[in-house]
Amino acid sequence: MNTSKSTISKKHLIAIAVIIAMGVGAGTFILQGGKSKSASGDGHGHGHTEAKAHGDGEHHGKSGGDGHDHDKGHADGEHHEQSEAKGPHGGSLFKDGDFSLEALLVEAGGEPRLRVWLTDKDKPLSMSAATVTATITRLTDEKQKLTFAPERENWVSREVVAEPHSFEIEIIAQTATEPYMFVMSKEEGKVELTDAQIKAASISLDTSSPASIKTALLLPGEIRLNEDRTSHVVPRLSGVVESVSANLGQIVKKGQVLAAIASPTASEQRSDLQTAQKRLALAKTTYEREKKLWEQKVSAEQDYLQAKQALSEAEVAVANANQKLGALGLSGSSASGLNRLELHAPFDGVVIEKHISLGEAVKEDAAVFTISDLSKVWAEINVPAKDLPLIRVGEKVTIKATAFDASATGTVAFVGALIGEQTRTAKARVVLDNPKGAWRPGLFVNVEVVSDEASVPVTISADAVQSIGEKPVVFLKVNGGFIAQPVQLGRSDGKRIEVLQGLKAGMPYAASGSFVVKSELGKGSAEHTH
């Protein structure tokens, strides 16, 4: 029994020893397996360096190349949250396994160019180990190919990357084994505005589109009196003013009495007429008597002929007296007296000048009134010699006031045949209807002459154009705001402007209210990393 017990006891001891030995071996194996995983970079053990597995830009902004301890307990997946990190040269860093590419837009000699650094397993690639190409796609869908030349430890683009720096760059690095492609986006100078902010700022959106644009020649001019319908009223006889019935600015009708003058000359002329009329009456009576007596053979024919001649002379004297009165603007008789001279309006018009007052002594050649018919006025323009072929008699033109918002259509009635020695321009005249009297003489105007009309593929609203650095720009609508797009402009009709370069048809932009976007752009500085 004791022996048996002793034997059982030994078996138990052997079994326990085997179990303990197996446990120690397994524990050793597990510990060794953990060290191997850590060394490979998959685990988070102590004292390993992951710089070989991740670029510096992906280590949460750390630029150093030293390893970091993972006692802080973060997961390895955190190193891949940033798709575009910062590289050691301050550029955008991209990774594909052990391969990394850093791209930076820098100014080389004042010209923006793209620089690229390539590394494999944290070691820079030699200049002969890879080639680099890139394609820039701008907001306008314009593409630019970039080729690169090796320079020290990087590749630099041979082509200049012009502003604006808002685009996508597709970079391809071809190594000896395989190609790598990365896409870098830039939105330099973006004005961030939400849809609600755009609406609150009253910024209207429009789309670039084709349109018909009339090319117009714009010439300065001035409204003047219609000289064909302007009269300077003069008394034609000296005298003293007895009454004045017309006032300055008054609208008068043809034949209306403007003023009355007492003139001794008028009295004399009317007296001469009356005397001639009485002589004519006597001559008629004498002629009729002598004719009757001659027909009855009572008197001699000579008496008859003398009476006939006297009658003819009397008729001439009366006609002469009437013509004198007519030339002086006098009627043959006046109810108010022989010396009364009345001044009448020659046509319907407005009294624009008045130089006469009651009791004043006026001379026969004094311009006491100026009457003008303002229902039609002239727009007088000076045409440069080079533009004379565009100004033709009978052509319709548009007149626009400079002092207020008004326009009208007129007809070119006259183009001068001579060019001024000093101005080197020729006079031209446009007849303009003025039924409401809005076109007042002395008003400065612009005369628009259509020289050409053409359909253009891309136009924008005139309100959309702003200037940045003395260059025209249009604020393109992008996701989350606007970006200033330089444009080259062409013809304009005042409402639409032709875009020669910088935009394509169908692109949205800020139309009215674009100045608000410009002011927002001025509040911040553009992101330039040159």
Task: Tell me the per-residue pLDDT of 265-294, one tens digit each, with 9 for 90 and over.
Answer: 888 888 888 888 899 999 999 999 988 888
Bridge partners (DSSP) of residue 414 are 429
- pLDDT reported for residue 29: 35
Q: Looking at the predicted structure, is the pLDDT value of residue 63 above 70?
A: no
- pLDDT reported for residue 524: 55
Q: φ and ψ at 297, to 5 degrees?
A: 60, 35
- pLDDT reported for residue 47: 33
- pLDDT reported for residue 38: 30
Domain boundaries, the chain: 83-187, 195-214+454-523, 264-338
Residue 518 CA to residue 216 CA, distance in Å, equals: 29
Q: Structurally, what CATH architecture does the domain formed by 195-214+454-523 represent?
A: Beta Barrel (2.40)
**CATH class for the region spanning 83-187:** mainly beta
Report the mean per-residue pLDDT for the chain. Answer: 80
3-state helix, strand, coil in the chain (%, to 5): 25, 40, 35
How many helices, marked H, and strands, marked E, lie in the chain? 5, 32
Is 433 within 8 Å of 223 (Cβ atoms)? no
Q: Structurally, what CATH architecture does the domain formed by 264-338 represent?
A: Orthogonal Bundle (1.10)
Q: Is 433 helix (H, G, I), strand (E, B) or coil?
A: strand
Two tokens, residue 75: 């997961």
- pLDDT reported for residue 142: 86
pLDDT bucket at 303, cuts 50 / 70 / 90: confident
- pLDDT reported for residue 327: 81
Residue with tokens 């604006």: 164
Q: Looking at the predicted structure, is the pLDDT value of residue 133 above 90?
A: yes
Q: Is 521 helix (H, G, I), strand (E, B) or coil?
A: helix
> Regarding predicted confidence, which is higher, 301 or 169?
169
Buried b / exposed e along 322-358 (16+ C-beta atoms within 10 A): beebeebbbeeebeeebbbbbbebbeebbbbebebee
Closest Cα partner for 451 from 375, 395, 530? 395
Is 304 within 8 Å of 293 (Cβ atoms)? yes
Closest Cα partner for 225 from 346, 372, 101, 121? 372
> Regarding predicted confidence, which is higher, 142 or 69?
142
Q: Looking at the predicted structure, is the pLDDT value of residue 355 above 60?
A: yes
Max CA-CA distance within the chain?
Answer: 219
Q: Looking at the predicted structure, is the pLDDT value of residue 426 above 80?
A: yes
Task: Tell me the per-residue pLDDT of 17-45, one tens digit each, with 9 for 90 and over.
Answer: 444 444 444 443 333 333 333 333 333 33
pLDDT bucket at 346, cuts 50 / 70 / 90: very high
Number of C-beta neighbours around residue 226 at 10 A: 19
Residue 12 CA to residue 10 CA, distance in Å, equals: 5
- pLDDT reported for residue 4: 35
- pLDDT reported for residue 37: 31
Burial of 296 (0-12, 13-18, 19+ CB in 10 A): exposed
Bridge partners (DSSP) of residue 481 are 192, 478
At a CB cut-off of 8 Å and minimum separation 6, what does 357 contact? 241, 244
pLDDT bucket at 333, cuts 50 / 70 / 90: low
- pLDDT reported for residue 214: 79
> What's the rounded mean pLDDT across residues 152-169?
89
Q: Looking at the predicted structure, is the pLDDT value of residue 349 above 70?
A: yes
Closest Cα partner for 345 from 440, 437, 245? 245
Residue 499 CA to residue 515 CA, distance in Å, equals: 19
pLDDT bucket at 13, cuts 50 / 70 / 90: very low
